[in-house]
Structure 1
Amino acid sequence: MRERPGHPTLFDQWDRIAARVAATRDAIEHEKKHGQGNRRHKGKRQAWSIDRQRLAEVQKVIHHRHGGACDTDDGPTYLRAAMPHLLRLYGGGDEGHGKIAGWCAVWLPTMPRADVSGAIEAAFRNDPPPLRADTLAELLNMRNDERTALSLRTIGAVDFTKADRQAERKRRDAAYRLAKRREEGATPRAQSAEQREPWKALNLSRRTYYRRLAAGTLPEAENASGTNSSAIVRSTYNPRRNGATAAGEGVPGPARETSPRQTVGAGGHTPGGKARAVPAGHARALPLPEGGFIEHPELFGSDDAWISLGSALDYAGGLMPPEVARAVRLAQRARAMTQEAVARQIGISRPQLANALQGRFGLSRSAAANLCAWLAAA
C-alpha cells in the first residue's frame, strides 16, 4: 500500500484505537474503585462498604469520648480496631502507608510516630482480619447505652449479646409492622384470631360451639359476633327451615344431647358402625304370633314349619348363632320391615346388622339386649 506524506499508516490507526480502549477501561475501573460507577450513588458520593462503615463508627466513638481527636494513651486500641479496614481501603505500599499515617495524625495525634510506623509495618506483614462486633465491643469496652446513643451498627456491646440484639431487632420490626397495619386500618391480629375462633374464648370445641349456635343456646353477645362479615352465617344452616339463619338468630329448641359411646362386642369393633341412642329394652316393633311364627319349608328347606323364639331370646352378645340369625330374618319378613329399619330399632347401623347376620362380627351386650327385645315385642 502506497503511503502519502503526512498521512498516518494503518498500524498507527490500530495503535490509537487500542490506546482509546485502554483509557476507557482504566476510567471505568477508577470509577468502580471510587464509587462513581454505582447507580445508587451519583456524583462524588462513595459507595457503601463495611470498611467505611466500621471506620466511620470508630471515628464517631473517638469523637464522642474525647470531644475530637484522641488525647490519651488509648491510641493503640483505636488503631487496632481501625487497622484492618484502613488496609482494605487504602491498600499497601508507600501510598497506603502514607494515607494510614495521615489518618493516625488526624485522629491519634498523641501516638508516637515510631509506634504508628511499627503498627503499619506489622499490619502489612500479617494482614489482620476485621474484628467481630462482640470482640470489638470488648476491645473498646462499649456499653449498650453508649452504643444506642451513637446509633452504632457494626460494633456490639459487652452487656448486650448478639442474641439480645437479634431479639430486639425482631421486636422493633414487629412494632413497626403493627403500627403500619394500624395506619392502614387493618384489624389487630389478636382480635382477628378471636373472630376466627370464638369457641376458644368460651372453652368449647368447634363442633360444640356451632351446634349450640345453631340451637340458639349461646348468649346473645356470642350469637351476634359471627365469624363472617356478611349478615348470613353459613355455619348456622338449618335443613328444616330450608335456608340460612341470620347472624344472631338461633333455631328454637333444646340443644341436642351427646350420643352414648359405642361399646365393643365380643367379636370386636364393627367397621364403619355408628352407635344410635336406643336404650336397651326400648325397641318398638310389630307384634309376632305368640310363641313363634311359621316358616315356609320351600324357602328354607326345613321340615319343621314352626320356629320358637325361646332359644333366640337367650342371645347375650358376641357372634350370632345360626338360629338367632334365622329368627331375625323370619321376624323381619313377618313384620315386612327392611334391614335398615330393623337396624335402626336395634340401635346399630345396617352394615353392623348385615355382618352380624353373616357371622363376620359380633354384637355388644346392649345391641344384643335390643335385638332380643325387638324379637319378643308383642
Structure 2
Amino acid sequence: MAARVAATRQAVEHEKKHGQGNRRHKGKRQAWSIDRQRLAEVQKVIHHRHGGACDTDDGATYLRAAMPHLLRLHGGGDEAHDKILGWAAVWLPTMPQADVAAAVENAFRHDPPPLKADTLAELLNMHRDERTALSLRTIGAVDQTSRERAAERKRKSAEHQAAKRQRAGATPRSQSKVAIAKAQGISLSTLKRRLKQAAAQEAANRPDPISSAIDPKDLQPTTKPGHGTGLSVPGPAREASQRQIVGAVGPTPGARTRAVPAGHAVPLPLPENGFQENGDFFGSDDAWISLGSALDYAGGLMPPEVARAVRLAQRARSMTQDAVARHIGISRPQLANALQGRFGLSRSAAANLCAWLAAA
C-alpha cells in the first residue's frame, strides 16, 4: 500500500508539472466551467494537506465533494464509470475499490447536485487562512460568511483600482472635492463656491507687482468682474413715484407734475414789446409777434401762436427746454408734447406759462 501511495504521488506531481493546467503549456486549453474549477480546487486541497494523494481515511469526504462534478464532466455510462474509478485510484489510493464503486453506483442512481460553497467548507473543514493560501474561489470558509467574503473582494478590488489610478498619475479619490465636501459635511456646490471665494480673496490680497514681473494670473481674475463697494451709494433703493394719467387738458400721460402754484413761475427778464422772429427758421425777415393773444391761453391744447411765442422766448433767453419746463412747473416731455399739440396743459400750468411769457 505504501508503494502504491508513493507511485500515485509521483504521478500527481508529474501531472501537476507537465499537465494541461500548467501555464507554460502551449496547447489549446479547455473552456472554463464551474465543474473543472471545483474539481481542480478539491485536488489542490488534497495535495496541500497530504503532500500528494490522500493517504488517510478522509478519501470518502473528498470523493463526496468531487463526485457531482465528475458526473457532470464525464456524463453516464461505462466510460464515465471507468474515468471516475481512475480519478479515485490516483487521488484516493487508500480508499477501497469496492467503496469507490458503491459510491459511483449510488451517484449514478441519485445524481447528487453540487454542494454550496459554505456547505463544502464545512465538509472539508476549510478555514480562511488555508483558503487564502490556496487561492480558492469556489470553496468557502467556516470562519467567514459569504457576505464577509464579498465585502473583502470589494475592498481588494477598490485597493487594486486605486493603485492602478495612482500609477497612472490620477488624483486619489480621498483627496477629491467630493471626499473633502463629504468630510466637512457640506454639499459639493458649497465647497466649490467657497474655493472660488477663497481664490478671489487671494487674488485681491496679492501685492501689486510694481518692480517684479507681472503674473498672468493677475491679468485674468478667477471671478467675474463686479462693482466694488465704493462705486455704489449706501442706503435704501429709491422708491418709485406715483405717475399721473389725465385727459387732454391735464398733464401728459406718464409725466411727473411739479408742485408749483399758479402765478409763481420765476422766469428770466424778457425784452419789452415782444420778440423778433429769426428768418432762417421761420421764413420771415422782420416779423414781430405781440404777446396779447398768447397771454390769453388758459389751458388745453396749445394754439400755434402760443407755441411759437414759447419757442422764441426760450431762444431769446438762451434757455433749454428742460429749464423752461422747470420754471412752468411741468416735465420736459410734457412741455414738448404740448408744443407739438399732442396733449394740453392744465390751468395751473397754463397760468405759469403766461406769467413766464409776460415777465419783463
- TM-score, normalised to structure 2, is 0.50
Q: Which one has more relative contact order, counting CA pairs under 8 Å at least 6 apart?
A: 2
Identify, as 1 or 2, the structure richer in helix: 2
For the pair shown, the structure with the greater C-alpha radius of gyration is 2
Q: TM-score, normalised by structure 1?
A: 0.47
